[in-house]
Amino acid sequence: MKLAVFLAFLSVAVMAAMIFQAVSQELTLRFLKSRMVENTEQVKRKEDAIVEVKSKIQAMKSKLVFVNTNIDTLKKKKTDSEQKAQEFNKNLQTCNTEKQDVEKKTSGMRESMNKLKADHEQAKKKAQEDIQSLKQQILDRDKAICAFADTSKEEARKLCGL
């Protein structure tokens, strides 16, 4: 009987060890399942975050493309405006040289006009002098004629101022 008790005790001990092992494995499995669920949730959250970041990156890429095209158009506008500014500067320089040439011509014209005016004034003075001398000659001639003219006639009196 001792052997039966020993075998019963041994079988109870083996059974207890197996129950303990089964409970321990069950608890480990539950812990691993809960950990797996948590890990799955974390993976899903991280995947969602990755998808969200990818969409943000895509949006930023599209904005970047738009900004790059705007930068290109602005660069083109800048080069165009610089070329126009250079053309305007060239035109300004040509206008300034033309202006200087015109100013030189006008100063020459003014000098010649002043010279002509001076010559005109001299010619006018000379003509006045000639007119005065001719008037004097006419008066002298009239006086000489009046000395010989018949004062009884009306034309002679008019001529002589009588």
Give the separation between CA 152 and CA 133, rounded to whole angstroms: 30
List, for residues 38-52, the tens digit of each pLDDT value.
999 999 999 999 999
pLDDT digits (tens, 9 = 90+) for 34-84: 999 999 999 999 999 999 999 999 999 999 999 999 999 999 999 999 999
The dihedral sign for the CA sequence 152, 158, 161, 162: positive
Residues 149, 162 contacting (CB under 8 angstroms): no
pTM above 0.75, yes or no: no
